[in-house]
Amino acid sequence: MTWTLIIVLAIGAYSFKVLGLVVLGGRPLPVRLQRCLVLIPPALIGALVVSGTFANGKDLVVDARAAGVAVAVIAAWRRANMAVIIVLAAATTALVRAVT
């Protein structure tokens, strides 16, 4: 990757942000679009977790990471503190890796 490409991509990203401000001005977004935009971050986080857990390059794998994510999901469902969720997931993953 060259510096020219990085600069062009940075200018493009900044231009998209400025374009949104110029086009919208001070007007609020439509309600339907606001409801859709609220759903994007959880969907992206879910996709990143799933791809990071079950993907190994181009292969689909189920290993110790899946156990850690399962424990994290259960702890989050039980409304545990975020620090507790992370420690439980890491400990579960480490324990499964140590056993297998």
Domain count, the chain: 1
Domain assignment of residue 23, yes or no: no
Domain assignment of residue 49, yes or no: yes
Please identify which residue in the block is written with the tokens 């609220």: 38
pTM to 2 decimals? 0.63
**What's residue 66's pLDDT?**
94
Domain assignment of residue 62, yes or no: yes
Domain assignment of residue 22, yes or no: no
Domain assignment of residue 95, yes or no: yes
Contact residues for 93 (Cβ-Cβ < 8 A; gap 6+): 64, 65, 67, 68
Domain assignment of residue 81, yes or no: yes
Domain assignment of residue 86, yes or no: yes
- How many angstroms separate the CA atoms of 2 and 82, rounded? 39
What is the residue range of 87's domain? Answer: 30-99
Q: Tell me the per-residue pLDDT of 29-79, one tens digit each, with 9 for 90 and over.
A: 889 989 999 999 999 999 999 998 998 888 888 999 999 999 999 999 999
Q: Tell me the per-residue pLDDT of 12-28, one tens digit each, with 9 for 90 and over.
A: 999 999 998 888 788 88
Domain assignment of residue 67, yes or no: yes
Q: Which run of H or E residues covers position 40?
A: helix 31-54
